[in-house]
Chains A and B, each alone.
Chain A
Amino acid sequence: MAERRLGNRLKDIRTARGLTQTDLAALVGVSRKTINTVENSVFIPSTLLALALAKTLNARVEELFFIIGEEEH
């Protein structure tokens, strides 16, 4: 079974909304480092944070995050 990793389009969607990392962090209530490390796939965010990011960016969670290495069905 292929290793499953979490990819994200957070940076693309954030910049499309005209937000900096600091702006987004202030809107979600986390540190800029959290946004930066999620964007760089340093760690997998919690469901709570993923939902908060999606709500703030007015996007669906699936648009923000996707699984790398899993076959699409």
Chain B
Amino acid sequence: MAEIQKSDAEIVAEERCRWRAHSRTIIWTFLFWLAVALLMVAAFNSGIPQMIRAWAGIPDIVVVWIPLIFLLFLWRILLLYRKRFSPLPESLRPSVQKRLVDDYTRRQRFILVAFIPLTLLLTLNSPETHGSSSDASWFSLGAFVSYMLLAALMIVFGPGFLNTRFRAANQDEASRMLRVRSTAVGYIAAMIAMTADYGIGLFAPTLLQAAIPLSLAAAFIVPALYYVIADWRASLTKEDRDG
């Protein structure tokens, strides 16, 4: 059977479709298990289980194990899912791999750039940093939208590590190096922020409630900004840097 030769662009387009399908599956799986968990919480708190257990003579130990059985079931679903969405990255041409890496790093940049204003908005909306929020209803609305956007972005982009090809693209050495350095910067920023919080707690305790959300925001925004700037600088050649 003659093999159909596809161009790099066609393969990349197919891969993007797979990634989108991957994201959709993650969202539906997440929502399904969230609903199952909520139903279980509701069921176990309603008093009905006791009646059923008493009627059917189910021992307590079985009830304790039910959530674990659900977790095992979830794990099995994830394994099946990985099998379904995990073609071999080695089968990709290097030129395709390069395009996928570019696509992935573009997504990552977008996420980070989107997270910075969302984090700022959430921090500003905090009653401790903003004061009374009763006179600023748009702030609450903004906070709600920010939370929803953050959650959606985390769900859509976050679990990419489950996809083998996504992980392969994630292993690009430049972006890996940038992530390591950003993590180090984030660690230093978090340490400085925590030390500042301790200092404020000692010398100006009344300001501590406002300082904590700000330090949390700094611990995220500083490494995110570092990543975005370093990523941009990494694309500059030596001639560009020298001007």
Asked if A26 and B177 make an inter-chain contact with CB atoms under 8 angstroms apart, the answer reads no
Contact of B98 among A30, A42, A45, A46 (CB under 8 A): A30
Asked if A27 and B95 make an inter-chain contact with CB atoms under 8 angstroms apart, the answer reads yes
Q: Output the least CB separation between B128 and chain A (Å).
A: 40
Interfacial residues of chain A within 9-45, with CB under 8 A of chain B in the complex: 21, 25-34, 36-40, 42-43, 45
Interface residue range, chain B: 20 to 34
Report if A61 contacts B (CB, 8 A).
no
Contact of A30 among B101, B231, B236, B241 (CB under 8 A): B101
Q: Most chain-B Cβ atoms within 10 A of its Cβ — which of A21, A40, A46?
A: A40
Residues in B whose Cβ lies below 8 Å from that of A45: 173
On whether A36 and B98 interact (CB within 8 A), knowing A30-B172, A31-B105, A49-B173, the answer reads no
Docked complex Cα distance between A30 and B174 (Å): 9
Docked complex Cα distance between A24 and B72 (Å): 45
Interfacial residues of chain B within 165-182, with CB under 8 A of chain A in the complex: 172-175, 177
Q: Output the least CB separation between A36 and chain B (Å).
A: 6
Asked if B238 and A28 make an inter-chain contact with CB atoms under 8 angstroms apart, the answer reads no
Q: Most chain-A Cβ atoms within 10 A of its Cβ — which of B92, B95, B174, B238?
A: B174
Docked complex Cα distance between A36 and B128 (Å): 45
Interface residue range, chain A: 20 to 34
Q: Most chain-B Cβ atoms within 10 A of its Cβ — which of A25, A27, A30, A33?
A: A33
Docked complex Cα distance between A36 and B235 (Å): 7
Docked complex Cα distance between A25 and B174 (Å): 12
On whether A31 and B94 interact (CB within 8 A), knowing A36-B235, A37-B177, the answer reads no
Report if B15 contacts A (CB, 8 A).
no
On whether A26 and B98 interact (CB within 8 A), knowing A36-B235, A37-B234, A40-B238, the answer reads yes
Residues in B whose Cβ lies below 8 Å from that of A43: 173-174, 177
On whether A29 and B98 interact (CB within 8 A), knowing A34-B174, A45-B173, the answer reads yes
